[in-house]
Amino acid sequence: MLERLEPQSPDALLALIKLHAADPRGDKIDLGVGVYRTEEGATPVFAAIKDAEQRLIDDQDSKSYLGPEGDMGFVNALMPWIFGEDATMGGRIAGMQTPGGTGAVRLAAALAQKAGMKRLHMGVPSWPNHAQILGDLGLEIAPFDHASADGTADIDAVLGAIRSAGADEGVLLHGCCHNPTGIDYTPEEWAQIADAFEMSGAFPIIDTAYQGLGRGLEEDAAGLRMVLAKVPEAFIAYSCDKNFGMYRDRVGAFYILSDGKETLDRAFSNANALARASWSMPPDHGAAAVRLILRDNALTQMWQDELDAMRARMRQVRDRLAAAGMAGSVDLAPLGRQNGLFSMLPVTKEQVASLREDHAIYMAGSGRINVAGLTMGNIDRFIDAIAEVTG
């Protein structure tokens, strides 16, 4: 039977991790997969997480099952950070834990499909796994341009997609720090987006995987909140992979906004059933550590300070790139206006290969770079290599 399966190529981005690890060159630069790196090139465990993990070891008295919704203390503790002071919007929002942001996106798409969603409009380029998840579920994707050539949002295309979406259609947006372009909508653009959702009746699905890595925890949630204030229903997929540095521990959450308690309960009974059939229950450890941080003022402060330092370092890298201006045929100035881990460079696949082979610089074939892979020690070499390869 198994011989009938078509071989699949490994995920290109994840394959890059192994390629980079196998490269013996001492001055190699990893701008591939989206993990934060320090000025020393490390991805350490947050000190706040270490502290919370120690408390878990000391105090956790059972690892008995929790249920498909996972750790509801974690789910609820995150809510004010995402949704603001009125964290449930008067009882209209509820959530559950998922295995990473990917689990949340998968659950959002599967539940939308079960509720009758026919098509999902999605800005491109997007995180490649979005299309893989939707394709795997058989949900039709209607692509629209997210980015203009000048490195800002193609807001007309975004608004056009929302306005053209029918009642049984959704629109998938990134809450902040767009992956892969780094292009955030401005507050004015978010206001237009919120109005467009209100007018069209399209169903918003907002993937928020980088809160706090862009302009700040509150700022990065502002657009999402503007949309939720205007619509009756929405799904929110949330990841703690980056803003708590929990990548391999798979810490995420899925939230539903609904216009009434009865519909919210009904939607959740379906989300629970889908989770049970998919992964039964999410892994506990990372979410429990995040819960401990968010319930302790000193740990919360420690976490925020670490997040602030990450954001400041990425801003320093972006400012330095922007100040370099043109490198060969690549204008680095837009990177200074973009946010988060990622930006796209207008380079060909051949130029990406040459950067890897001749300069030991690793980036996704799409031209996406993870700016956190750059340091004050390697950034000049990177800029020179871009100039050489594209000049």
Q: Which residues are catalytic?
A: 127, 207, 242
Among residues 179, 211, 258, 343, the one that binds ligand LMR under rule CB under 6 A: 179
**Minimum CB distance to ligand LMR smaller for 98 or for 179:** 179
Size of the site for ligand LMR (CB under 6 A): 6
CB nearer ligand LMR, residue 37 or residue 92: 37
32: number of CA atoms within 13 Å, CB side?
23
Q: Residues 274 to 313: which contact ligand LMR by CB under 6 A?
A: none
Tokens of 123: 């800005």
Decide whether 13 or 96 has the Cβ nearer to ligand LMR.
13
Residue 223 CA to residue 228 CA, distance in Å, equals 9
Q: How far is the CB of 237 from ligand LMR (least distance, A)?
A: 12
- Give me the least distance between CB of 349 and ligand LMR, in Å please: 18
Min dist CB 168 to ligand LMR, Å, is 29
Helix locations, the chain, DSSP H: 12-22, 47-59, 72-83, 100-114, 128-137, 155-164, 187-200, 217-228, 261-278, 285-294, 297-324, 349-359, 379-390
Q: From the list 46, 127, 255, 268, which residue makes contact with ligand LMR (rule: CB under 6 A)? A: 127
Among 16, 33, 226, 264, binds ligand LMR (CB under 6 A): 33
13 interacts with ligand LMR by CB under 6 A: yes
Q: Smaller CB distance to ligand LMR: residue 12 or 229? A: 12
Q: Which is nearer to ligand LMR, 13 or 371 (CB)?
A: 13
The dihedral built from the CA positions of residue 297, 303, 309 and 313, taken in this order, carries a sign that is negative
Q: Pick one of 29, 30, 34, 382: the residue that binds ligand LMR (CB under 6 A).
A: 34
Return the structure tokens found at 212: 């706090």
d(CA 45, CA 53): 10
Cα 253 from Cα 99, distance rounded (Å): 8
Contacts of residues 308-316 at CB distance under 8 Å and 24 or more positions apart, as own/partner, are 310/36, 310/213, 310/372, 311/212, 311/213, 311/214, 311/215, 311/216, 313/38, 313/39, 313/372, 314/36, 314/213, 314/340, 314/341, 314/371, 314/372, 316/376
Task: Return the DSSP state at 148.
Answer: -
Q: Which is nearer to ligand LMR, 129 or 375 (CB)?
A: 129
User: What burial letters (b/e) apply to 221-245, b meaning 16+ CB within 10 Å?
Assistant: bebbbbbbebbebbbbbbbbbbbbb
CB of 14 to ligand LMR, least distance (A): 7
CB of 208 to ligand LMR, least distance (A): 13
> By CB under 6 A, is residue 390 in contact with ligand LMR?
no
Among 76, 129, 270, 366, binds ligand LMR (CB under 6 A): 129
Phi-psi category of 367—alpha, beta or left, where left has phi over 0 and alpha has psi -120 to 50? left
Answer yes or no whether residue 366 interacts with ligand LMR by CB under 6 A. Answer: no
Tell the burial category of 298 from Cβ atoms under 10 Å away from its Cβ (0-12, 13-18, 19+). exposed
- Ranked by CB distance to ligand LMR, the top (closest) residue is 34
Kindly state the smallest distance separating residue 364's Cβ from ligand LMR, in Å.
8
CA 22 to chain centre: 27
d(CA 144, CA 387): 31
| Residue number, 127 or 235, with CB nearest to ligand LMR | 127
CA terminus-to-terminus distance, the chain: 52
* Residue owning tokens 């990473």: 100
| Smallest separation (angstroms) from ligand LMR to the CB of 163 | 29
* Smallest distance from ligand LMR to CB 146, Å: 15
The residues in 222-241 that bind ligand LMR, with binding defined as CB under 6 A, are: none
Of the pair 69, 184, the CB lying nearest ligand LMR is at: 184
Residues that bind ligand LMR (CB under 6 A): 13, 33-34, 127, 129, 179
